[in-house]
Amino acid sequence: MNNYTENIYPIFDRLLQKAAKEKLLKQRTKALWMTGLSGSGKSTIGQYLEARLHKDGYLSQMLDGDNIRSGLNNNLSFTASDRKENIRRIAEVSKLFVNCGIITLNCFISPTKEIRDYAKNIIGENDFLEIYINAPLEECEARDVKGLYKKARKGEIKNFTGLDSPYEAPQNPDLEIRTDQMTVEESADKIYEFILPHIKY
Ligand code: ADP
């Protein structure tokens, strides 16, 4: 705890319980934490998955780099401490949604075990599923969806994950998806089948 929280008295114990909200929504909730290189397919899969869940009556909320960094976290840079603060806020937001019975689809590179564990600790281990969206660097670079690899190769972006900043692959993810070996639909459907037992009421 820091100094600013000493006079704050959380009221979580007086709020309506998560279970009551899950009952209302007729679903159980999880935070899906999708980690992987830029261009590996996190956002594309997240969008497809959100639509599929919606169609089948499951309420979810996608959180990804672009919607968070342009809003809530628009004052944060890419220094190590701001990257950590970025993840802390995302995990706190995710936790609020999860406690409201809503499934979250979190699409963030989150390159280190430390940063993923940080998110897991905030959200709570029981509510957290780690999904490794895996495609080889060469494939992600060839896709170069946002032209970022090109910029990074030219030196216009520093500390780019996979190039001059390391990506630590998860050692024990709950699920791994090889997006270089499957279509978008197959990838998202595989995640859907995997999470179904966790979210079915
Ligand atoms: P990220 O969010 O991880 O940075 P994006 O979703 O923005 O990645 O980009 C991934 C790109 O890879 C998209 O152009 C997408 O169409 C393509 N792609 C090819 N195969 C797959 C797959 N199996 N799953 C997800 N994306 C794929």
Per-position b or e across 19-30, b if 16+ CB within 10 A of its CB? eebbeebebbbb
**Helices 80-99 and 18-25: angle between axes, nearest 10 degrees:** 70
Mutate to test the pocket of ligand 1, among 43, 64, 145 (most ligand atoms within 8 A of CB): 145
Exposure of 26 in the CB half-sphere (CA atoms within 13 A): 5
Q: What is the pLDDT of residue 80?
A: 83
| 22-57 pLDDT tens trace | 999 999 999 999 999 999 999 999 999 999 999 999
Structure tokens at 7: 């006079």
Give me the residues paired with residue 175 across strands: 131
Mutate to test the pocket of ligand 1, among 37, 42, 44 (most ligand atoms within 8 A of CB): 44
183 touches ligand 1 (CB under 6 Å) = yes
**Cα 141 to middle of ligand 1, angstroms:** 11
pTM to 2 decimal places: 0.93
44 touches ligand 1 (CB under 6 Å) = yes
| 131-164 pLDDT tens trace | 999 999 999 999 999 999 999 999 999 989 999 9
Residue 12 has pLDDT above 80, yes or no: no
107 touches ligand 1 (CB under 6 Å) = yes
Q: Categorize the per-residue pLDDT at 11 as very low, low, confident or very high, splitting at 50, 70 and 90.
A: low
Distances (CA, A) of 16 to 66, 95, 184: 31, 15, 38
Distance CA 86, CA 17 (A): 27
Q: What is the pLDDT of residue 7?
A: 76
Report the CATH fold assignment for 29-136+165-199.
Rossmann fold (3.40.50)
Range 96-103 average pLDDT: 96
Residue 177 near residue 190 (C-beta atoms within 8 A) = yes
| 78-81, Cβ contacts within 8 angstroms, sequence gap of 24 or more | 78/159
Residue 172 has pLDDT above 60, yes or no: yes
**Cα 177 to middle of ligand 1, angstroms:** 12
145 touches ligand 1 (CB under 6 Å) = yes
Neighbours of 175 (CB within 10 A): 17
**Alpha-carbon torsion, ordered 132, 57, 12, 30, to 10 deg:** -20
